[in-house]
Amino acid sequence: MSTTTDFITVPRGLARVVVTDTELGDVRGEEGFFHYRQYSAVELAGQVGVEAAWHLLFHGHLPSDDELATFTAEIGRLRVLPPALADLLPAICATTGDSLQVLRTALSAWGGVAGLRTLYDSGEDERTAAAMAAASVTPTILAAAHRLHHGLEPVPADPTLGHTEDYLRMVSGERPSTRDVRAVEQYLVATMDHGFNASTFTARVIASTGADLAACLVGAIGSFSGPKHGGAPSRALEALDEIGTLDRADAWVRRQVEAGGRIMGFGHAVYRTRDPRSEMLKAIARGWQDPLVDLALGVEDAVEATLAELKPGRELHANVEFYAGVVMKLAGLDPSMFTPTFCVARVVGWTANVLEQSRDPKIIRPAARYVGPPPPQPVPVRAAG
């Protein structure tokens, strides 16, 4: 065991450990509430679009009409793929059918195409410009990858459209309905940022080294791709498909619990009450008269009741992933695009966090407790001469 006496032992997974200060927002799990700066995130999702919420995270205030118009136009311009990157995408897509893997590789290549300098060597304006460009081009890459994987030509970005509308159009090749755009937009706004989740923390750790912005995002996407993080929405919908009918829900949950499996779409690392994002998405889903919504509502009640019986004392409610998959499917997105769509939102939060972290000169460098076989006794090092 180490003889160092000034180490601080913290809970596994850094649960509830404060590692830095942030002005971007907070998650108050005991209250079922989270906010972006001084605004309730869920209320914001019901009132503004992606561009306004993005401006808030980047610049600290909601934009005026003129600021919003300028900001939206800039996002639209930056959403267009650089020709060199567009030429690379078919080759990248030929190596993998996973759109997040494509994005991870494409953003790394984009960093080279864009000539990114390290955060350490860049000023505030240069870092912000890189963050804007990376978050803007992400949905274009993901939409193009989806189409290429299905043998379809990518649809070029239309800078005159709003960010959400253009994303859905680039995925499907058709102009989406107003209802579909607004449903997905509310989801995007409500999932842009969410405290120091695994992928955001990953991005900030890399940013603390002074690496370039593309490196931060590649690391964040790697963390995000795990099924315990961003990979959950499609798995939650798969569970609904597997259950099939409401009368099978109780038995299905019991089998999962007895086998030690996890019920995707239920429970959360932070919330000890209902996930406010899930409640918002449930309300949006009710706007569709669809059997999938009826099934989801019934399964939610059945799963919560069964979990309360099998795991008494634990607050296991539907989280954002449970209804996210329902809303995205009803809005016309293929399940393979659920996690990529989550990524379209979260890249805004990642880049905002990278910008904030880059202002702190301190590298993030924790310690680990050694518990392996005893090492040899150290030999004192004596100065030469």
Sign of CA dihedral 35, 180, 79, 86: positive
Q: Which residues are catalytic?
A: 268, 321
* Burial (CB count <10 Å: 0-12, 13-18, 19+), residue 171: buried
Q: How does DSSP assign 224-274, residue by residue?
A: HTSTTTTTHHHHHHHHHHHH-SGGGHHHHHHHHHHTT---TTB--SS-SS-
C-alpha of 33 from chain center:
18
Sign of CA dihedral 312, 259, 252, 293: positive
Q: In this structure, what are the phi and psi dihedrals at residue 40, rounded to the nearest 5 degrees?
A: -60, 125
CA distance 131 to 353: 10
Write out the two tokens for 143: 């939409």
CA distance 288 to 82: 38
Sign of CA dihedral 367, 372, 374, 376: negative
List, in order, residues 6 or more apart from 301 with CB less than 8 Å away: none
Residue with tokens 């350490």: 120
End-to-end, the C-alpha distance of the chain in Å comes to: 33
In single-letter form, the type of residue at position 43 comes to: E
CA distance 310 to 301: 14
Please state, in angstroms and as integers, the Cα–Cα distance from residue 33 to each residue in 29, 195, 262, 278, 313, following that order. Answer: 6, 11, 24, 12, 21
**Contact between 62 and 55 (Cβ < 8 Å):** yes
Residue with tokens 């679009």: 49
Sheet holding 39-40, edge to edge: 25-28, 33-36, 39-40
Q: In this structure, what are the phi and psi dihedrals at residue 124, rounded to the nearest 5 degrees?
A: -60, -45
CA distance 231 to 160: 31
